[in-house]
Chains A and B, each alone.
Chain A
Amino acid sequence: MTDAVNGASILPLDLAGVSFAAGGRRLIKDVTCTFEAGPRTAVIGPNGAGKSLLLRLCHGLIAPAAGRVVWRGARGRDPAPFQAMVFQRPVMLRRSVTANVDAALALRGVPRPERRARTAEVLERTGLARFAHQPARVLSFGEQQKLALARAWALRPQVLFLDEPTASLDPAATHAVEEIIDAIRGAGTRILMTTHDLGQARRMADEIVFLHRGRMLEKAPAADFFAGPRNDLAQAFVRGELLWWRKRPSRDPATEP
């Protein structure tokens, strides 16, 4: 695969006081940080922490209620075509495996001959070539996730968002998916993923963002974080305690409705 970078990078990504609310509840609270080009980032935290929402805010699928999401490197260009996202539950178009990739490329305005070449290439690289003319929806769940990755890969994004890419996969399928992610990253794509699998975060991330109840409590290099998180909730999470059973400290007024 050729380099993913189409022109200058749209990174870094700045989040400035970003909040998001739905149904009267604030689900992301005042997140401010910068994602630089380069490292792989894993967003971790217990269920309901807002990991997926944070990814969607960065990707622009949802708009923040307050604050700003700025692709500092975009410099007037629309940042959307430089990004791609793979969802926790792979969305399979009711078409063949090939057509699933082809449709995505068509939406991005890639001309037909190049679409064909890119499709063949990513299907080969992800081991899906033998299913090329199969309907996507009869693939196994693991294969569907691979196809979702192949589809995103074919777009050659500068930034790839992955929402729990291996949730509910068995170890073998998880391994295969992680290898594909590594290959995509090797082609120059910035990886920003969520996971609730601490082992995966250790294997796959250079940088950890710890999210709890909508707040970004810690953002640190992976080695430092796993050596000893500064935040006490993050420490408890890394130790494997069930945070959601803990009584909330009353000093967090923002969580009160």
Chain B
Amino acid sequence: MRNRRPNPRSWSTRIVTALLGLLVAFAVHGEAAAEDRFIVVASTTSTANSGLFDHILPLFENKTGIQVRVVAVGTGQALRVARNGDADVLLVHHRPSEEAFVAEGFGVARHDVMYNDFVIVGPAADPAAVRGLTDAAAALARIAGAAAPFASRGDDSGTHKAERALWAAAGVDPGAASGSWYRETGSGMGATLNTAAAMDAYALTDRGTWLSFGNRGQLVVLVEGDRRLANPYGVILVDRARHPHVKAEDGQAFIDWLTGREGQAAIASFTIGGQRLFFPSAKSVGGS
């Protein structure tokens, strides 16, 4: 127990020093390994969560060597990120906001990219009896009339904005019922669908997220096909005049590719379970 030992301080000190050194080397190495040529795209959870980017971005990156870093947040936050100059390209789905973004001088121009549509999902038991309706506003009015639970994004996202427009068309102010049958989750599409599945609530979702969503519970698609449920996506290059550090060339290259033949074909070829999620809509298809 009391046998004499060689001075033990040296080895433990050495171990600690070595570990610290290793750490620093690890961190520095990682930083240096990050690619130099990249653009930041502020986009929405609906495009990222559906797997679309995983499908199309490698094609672009392989062709141009430009890495595309996608920050996927709600449309409202994506607009703010781009407005602050923290992204080079904006890819969202709320046309009025996009046009305002360009009009205010933050963006160069808006280009159509693709569209999908929104659907109203709800419990298979359908307590508000909306199944099969093609008038989304009428469906929402019934849900309100039945005071059936409805899960809303409540996060100022593109989907949330579309939802609010539909409530207005239905002549219902769901905010008055917030907390009772109208539940605002204040979070992304996936989290809201998780909530709806857990509460057997109705919800408005984009079809892309819905098709790739794994935790549906009792939820099924009940309402679709209304023209007002169309969900167009636009892409905008952040204006270098406003934010001089914006990588305009690489960003424009991405937009050109996305709205060009290859990008549009890549979007069209993305399917889940045999179903297409997004439909190319660029006006320049075939033209560039």
On A, residues with C-beta under 8 Å from B are: 96, 99, 130-134
Bin the interface of chain B by size.
under 10
Cβ-closest chain B residue relative to A95: B9
Residues of B within 8 A of A132 (CB): 4
Main secondary structure of the interface of A (DSSP, over half): mixed
Determine if B13 is an interface residue (Cβ-Cβ < 8 Å). no
Q: How far is the CA of A133 from the CA of B6 in the complex (A)?
A: 7
Proximity bits, B1-14, A CB within 8 Å = 1, else 0: 01011111100000
Proximity bits, B211-234, A CB within 8 Å = 1, else 0: 000000000000000000000000
Q: How far is the CA of A131 from the CA of B5 in the complex (A)?
A: 10
Minimal beta-carbon separation of B89 from chain A (angstroms): 58
Most buried by B among A99, A131, A133, A134: A133
User: Residue B2 contacts which of A96, A99, A131 (CB distance < 8 angstroms)?
Assistant: A131
Minimal beta-carbon separation of A211 from chain B (angstroms): 41
Residues of A within 8 A of B2 (CB): 130-131, 134
Main secondary structure of the interface of B (DSSP, over half): loop
A-B contact pairs, 13 of them (CB 8 A): A96-B7, A96-B9, A99-B9, A130-B2, A130-B4, A131-B2, A132-B4, A133-B4, A133-B5, A133-B6, A133-B7, A133-B8, A134-B2
Q: How far is the CA of A132 from the CA of B6 in the complex (A)?
A: 10
* 9 nearest CB pairs, A to B: A133-B5, A133-B4, A134-B2, A133-B7, A131-B2, A130-B4, A132-B4, A130-B2, A133-B6
Residues of A within 8 A of B6 (CB): 133
Minimal beta-carbon separation of B11 from chain A (angstroms): 13
Q: How far is the CA of A134 from the CA of B2 in the complex (A)?
A: 7
Proximity bits, B165-198, A CB within 8 Å = 1, else 0: 0000000000000000000000000000000000
Q: How far is the CA of A133 from the CA of B8 in the complex (A)?
A: 8
CB contacts under 8 Å to A, within B1-46, are 2, 4-9
Minimal beta-carbon separation of B281 from chain A (angstroms): 71
Q: How far is the CA of A130 from the CA of B1 in the complex (A)?
A: 12
Minimal beta-carbon separation of B270 from chain A (angstroms): 63
Residues of A within 8 A of B8 (CB): 133
Residues of B within 8 A of A133 (CB): 4-8
Q: How far is the CA of A251 from the CA of B5 in the complex (A)?
A: 63
Residues of B within 8 A of A130 (CB): 2, 4
Q: How far is the CA of A47 from the CA of B9 in the complex (A)?
A: 42
Cβ-closest chain B residue relative to A98: B7
Residues of B within 8 A of A131 (CB): 2
Cβ-closest chain B residue relative to A139: B2
Residues of B within 8 A of A96 (CB): 7, 9
Residues of A within 8 A of B5 (CB): 133
Minimal beta-carbon separation of A164 from chain B (angstroms): 28
| 11 more A-B residue pairs beyond the given contacts A99-B9, A133-B4, with a C-beta to C-beta distance below 8 A | A96-B7, A96-B9, A130-B2, A130-B4, A131-B2, A132-B4, A133-B5, A133-B6, A133-B7, A133-B8, A134-B2
CB contacts under 8 Å to A, within B246-287, are none
